Amino acid sequence: PMEGIEKCRYDDILGLKPRGLITAMIAALGYRAASDKYATTPKVRFAREQVVRHV
């Protein structure tokens, strides 16, 4: 998730309000750059059950 987003702007751009939806969070997706200096560092991954809560 990213911080400092303008949720209302996302709502407007994506047309969420008429559908009764709001922006809760955003996440960057894509491919790693070939020059990414962190590509070989160890990563921490949590189980989905620890991160996602269905409401």
Residue 2 maps to a domain:
yes
Residue where the block lists tokens 């400092």: 4
Residue 24 maps to a domain:
yes
pLDDT tens for each residue of 24-53: 888 877 888 889 888 888 988 888 888 776
Higher pLDDT pick, 9 / 53:
9
Cα-based angle 33, 42, 28 (whole degrees, multiple of 5): 40
The DSSP H or E segment spanning 50 is helix 48-51
- Amino acid 54: pLDDT: 66
Range(s) of the domain holding residue 24: 1-30
> Looking at the 3D structure of the chain, how many domains does it have?
1
Residue where the block lists tokens 């590509």: 39
Q: Measured between alpha carbons, how far is residue 29 from residues 32, 33, 40 in Å?
A: 9, 12, 19
Residue 12 maps to a domain:
yes
User: Cα separation of 6 and 23, whole Å?
Assistant: 9
